[in-house]
Amino acid sequence: MAFTEPDKLVSLEEAAGHVADGDVVALGGALSYREPMALVRELVRARRRDLHLVGSAHGIDVDLLVGAGAVRVLEESYVGYEQDFGLAPAYRRAAESGRLALRETCCYTLLQQLRAAEYGIPFMPVRGILGTGIRDLHPEYGEIRCPFTGQRLVAVPALAPDVALIHGLLADRRGNVHLARPLVLDERFTFASRKVVVTVERLASPSEVAEAGVVLPYFAVTAVVEAPYGAHPTSCYPHYTYDRAHLGEWVKAAGTDEGVHQYLDRYVLGPGGEEGYLKSVGEDRLQALGEWSASDERWKELLS
Amino acid sequence: MAFTEPDKLVSLEEAAGHVADGDVVALGGALSYREPMALVRELVRARRRDLHLVGSAHGIDVDLLVGAGAVRVLEESYVGYEQDFGLAPAYRRAAESGRLALRETCCYTLLQQLRAAEYGIPFMPVRGILGTGIRDLHPEYGEIRCPFTGQRLVAVPALAPDVALIHGLLADRRGNVHLARPLVLDERFTFASRKVVVTVERLASPSEVAEAGVVLPYFAVTAVVEAPYGAHPTSCYPHYTYDRAHLGEWVKAAGTDEGVHQYLDRYVLGPGGEEGYLKSVGEDRLQALGEWSASDERWKELLS
Amino acid sequence: MSADFTIDEWMCAALANTIRDGEVVFHGFGSPCATIAMHVAKRTHARHMVLVEGSTYALDPDPAFVPPTSNDWSLMRRAVHVLRFEELFDLAARGGVDRMFLSGGQIDPHGNTNVTAIGPPDTPKVKLGGGGGGCNLSATVGTLTLWATRHRSGRTLVERCDVITDLGYVTPTGTRQELGFPGGGPEWLVSELGVFDFPDGRARLRRLYPDVSLDEVRAATGFELVVDPGLRPL
Amino acid sequence: MSADFTIDEWMCAALANTIRDGEVVFHGFGSPCATIAMHVAKRTHARHMVLVEGSTYALDPDPAFVPPTSNDWSLMRRAVHVLRFEELFDLAARGGVDRMFLSGGQIDPHGNTNVTAIGPPDTPKVKLGGGGGGCNLSATVGTLTLWATRHRSGRTLVERCDVITDLGYVTPTGTRQELGFPGGGPEWLVSELGVFDFPDGRARLRRLYPDVSLDEVRAATGFELVVDPGLRPL
């Protein structure tokens, strides 16, 4: 269970090898923030299929995987682009065509299922869910009565993802990882999952990671990849804010199957790797995303 | 439920007023480390009675309160001085005389009971306890079957202490508190308890606390007291290591009821307050405890 | 004077007015009106409110602007502290969040909301984004302020939600009391046409925006419109 | 050569030898022998072990000395990381701790230990310190190494514990399998007289310290002494 090899540094391709067709995959980050996009793109390149995605509120990571045909079961609490670009087009199209098994979850329910796995117990009692349509989407939930109060509670089964994909700031070769807040569910995914694959902006010495603050300890981490801009086009503060223009480009493309394929050809499959991806995006654009900290005005400008 | 007053700074005496006779009291820190001793001493001065103490592995905080006759129910996982001074004399004497209701708990069981309170659920399922004498000490525990696996598990009831007593490093007047690791159960006590009373080494500005790192957010904190050396004779790193000689003095005194009273007269009741307590201990001694960081040799010397 | 305000500003003010001083308040993601309303309240009548941002879980931040996404560091600027995901949700689960802002693609007269799907949830006609944390939160949070910006479309306030994502007062399975939920349910529903309260657990029109007529509201509302006898403009 | 070692050193070496490389290992508080054994193992045959200190939950620290208390920053020196209390206990609860060191004021032949009380636990003749986390941990940790420094007293290895704090292989309520516990139970018991293993879940003497006779061990042991036919000195 513990991962104790002193050097876990692998290529992105090798890292994606930890994800098998049909796996339950937990995606770190949330919405427009620190999603494991380099790994997501690599799964597309590897033509992974039938994935069961679990997560809280997500965006392009899920939309892209669904668009690429990699997903069969969808167990996220939200997929979309909020007030920015609204509904996720590829996801929506797949959902409405019946190609996806839709098991919409709720953030807290998911948290409690992960905690059950983390605590080594087969279920957690949860207050809520009863009376909602979310309950109907989950025949695997049960019910239980409190032995003390007689209250009726939903029992949600432990959920241990096959693999968690996380993008962080720094890691050492052993797998100690530094993340900045918000941590979202990254810690819970790490401790509940069977394998944990982490990409980071930069490989660092153990002492540098320790000084920045270890959030994920090495023994829980399976493999480490150095992937600068590995969250792009989502943000990875303090390195870069999110690339709103690029997201917009994806959302526009994702409106049709053909658009999805054109996007994938141009950015993911055509260039054949992350170096190519970043070149296609353009160095100037990437550099500009780091200028958010120059001033509030610059920050606002980048996000408008 | 939220504590939103902008200024929560009170005297130690007022702070102790948040603890009523008969309350369930959670003690922060552990063993020889960061125990809320200034508050413990103030509870002795206030002649508080019939307390129900809950905690993990503790030392002089419990031993002193028991010695002073403040405790009726003992629900800690350990009370003593490890290899250093062994069994806790006052506690042991009270326990063997039948004056205490002994409800020895286990660290993880306690954690899961606090979590149940924190999660707003009436119980938590726990693996373990069955087959042990700890189970027999807790008629309030129940049993439950997993609705999925049919497994038999212990159901432990939610535990929301009436008040948690925590000693930290820094706080602002609003109640944001910085603690250093180990955090032991301090966070869980804070979020599970109805009231949270915090003493700190030093009152600081909000920005200084934020920079050091808020661990307990203001809305969860009821009252704040500035109490330098408030953990003495336990340690409060990085400020001071534990006062082994003073602990030894207490342990020796605690061997008899008379010794306990002499100790209390000399250090707690006689001086009548923390200023007097610290004077009785002596400024040189206190200063020396801060020298642990000078070198490993000095550190070792202080602990031998 | 009223002509100086946009409808968005009116809505934000109406939302802000639902907040009481000293409350712990939280909004869902993708809710810029609620974000602004909370910051307005915090700077005016509710200086002691505990403001938790909807996706960063930043505590009492001072953002320079409202970004187009809610999980952004700009919403953490000068925050006292950034709560963990777990800390916020646990707080809400034990009844420690006093008010939450929630919206819905559909909202029924009992205050149930749907952000999951139009049509059946497993084979939807339109797949909506999803409920995030609302399903659990609506069961335990003290009071809810619902909001809707497309009341006028006629498709938002409906007799019955196709799917119930977040709980109002009563569902086909039972009332929130029968289901064992400690949360108080929706207190207000603020749309771009008016403000509803929920006496006896059913939406009742209580305020109209200037320049909006009762007939307009009735035409846009898919359930029988109950009107407060004391109805007046905002 | 053996005369150059103290009995404490022998014990620490014997304890260290129970650790396999790559294991996640944890000790309880108040266990200086186990602390030293873990650091010896980490520096010799088990360089890839994951060493978690018993009370600070420091990960792979490099202490300059062993202090008289286990919740001390000296045991965190140069640690890679300090785990939270919750992280360590949850790890153990889900089977992620491979080995734990546990001791007992009483230890029975099934490997049950008592650190709670001599006499009835609610009205004890002697109140011992208490079990800390051992009660739960002994149910789920992969394997246990038990240790005792007062075997010679005749009061430590007993036929039956007055109270069972930490679980061995079988209790009056059932076996650990019957109780539903995934942990493997005690693998070794190291005392200052010898080393026991637990074939079929019952303590069996397997090694003797130099200068200790089988009769001495038998006299000091409160349960029927089963001896490995291959018994030999350490």
Give the closest of C80, C81, C93 to B119, CB-based.
Answer: C93
- Say if the Cβ atoms of B147 and A125 lie within 8 Å: no
- Say if the Cβ atoms of B126 and A122 lie within 8 Å: no
Q: Which residue has the tokens 């646990």?
A: C90
What pTM value is reported for the model? 0.98
Residues A2-58: tens digit of each pLDDT:
999 999 999 999 999 999 999 999 999 999 999 999 999 999 999 999 999 999 999
pLDDT at C3: 57
Helix (H, G, I), strand (E, B) or coil at D81: strand
Nearest-Cα distance to chain B for A214, in Å, is 13
Write the burial class of residue A128 (CB in 10 Å: 0-12 exposed, 13-18 middle, 19+ buried): buried
Phi, psi (deg, nearest 5) at residue A210: -60, -40
Helix (H, G, I), strand (E, B) or coil at A284: helix
Contacts of B123 in chain A (CB under 8 A): 125, 146-148
pLDDT at D169: 98
Residues 215-234 of chain D whose Cβ lies under 8 A from any Cβ of chain B? none
DSSP D34-103: HHHHHHHHHHTT-TT-EEE-TTT-EES---SS--SSSSSGGGGTT-SEE--HHHHHHHHHTT---EEEEE
- Per the rule left: phi > 0, alpha: psi between -120 and 50, beta: everything else, B74 is beta
Nearest-Cα distance to chain B for D231, in Å, is 32
Mutate to test the interface with D, among B100, B127, B135 (most CBs of D within 10 A): B127
- Say if the Cβ atoms of B219 and C24 lie within 8 Å: yes
Query: What gap in Å lies between CA B56 and CA B109, rounded to an integer?
Result: 10
**What type of residue is D15?**
L
Dihedral over Cα of D87, D93, D96, D98: its sign? positive
- The whole-number mean pLDDT for each consecutive block of 10 residues of chain C, a chain of 234 residues, reads 74 97 94 96 98 96 96 96 98 98 97 96 93 97 97 97 98 95 97 97 96 96 97 91
Q: In chain D, which residues have pLDDT < 50?
A: 1-2
Distance, first Cα to last Cα, chain A: 46
Band (B272; pLDDT cuts 50, 70, 90): confident
Band (B14; pLDDT cuts 50, 70, 90): very high
Band (A236; pLDDT cuts 50, 70, 90): very high
Helix (H, G, I), strand (E, B) or coil at D192: coil
Residues D43-70: tens digit of each pLDDT:
999 999 999 999 999 999 999 999 999 9
pLDDT at C1: 43
Query: What gap in Å lies between CA C13 and CA C160, rounded to an integer?
Result: 29
Residues C117-166: tens digit of each pLDDT:
999 988 899 999 999 999 999 999 999 999 999 999 999 999 999 999 99
pLDDT at D6: 86
pLDDT at D3: 57
Query: DSSP assignment, residue A176?
Result: -
Nearest-Cα distance to chain A for B139, in Å, is 12
Residues B122-172: tens digit of each pLDDT:
999 999 999 999 999 999 999 999 999 999 999 999 999 999 999 999 999
- CA separation, residue A79 to residues B40, B172, B247, B271 (Å): 51, 40, 58, 64
Looking at every residue in chain A, the average pLDDT score rounds to: 97
pLDDT at D25: 98
Q: Average pLDDT, stretch B50-60?
A: 98
Tell me if ipTM is over 0.95.
yes
pLDDT at D4: 74
pLDDT at C66: 95
Structure tokens, B281: 């201990």
- Say if the Cβ atoms of C94 and B218 lie within 8 Å: no
Residues 73-92 of chain C whose Cβ lies under 8 A from any Cβ of chain B? 80-81, 83, 87, 90-91
pLDDT at D1: 43
Interface of A with B (CB under 8 A): 112, 119-127, 142-144, 146-149, 151, 153, 155, 157
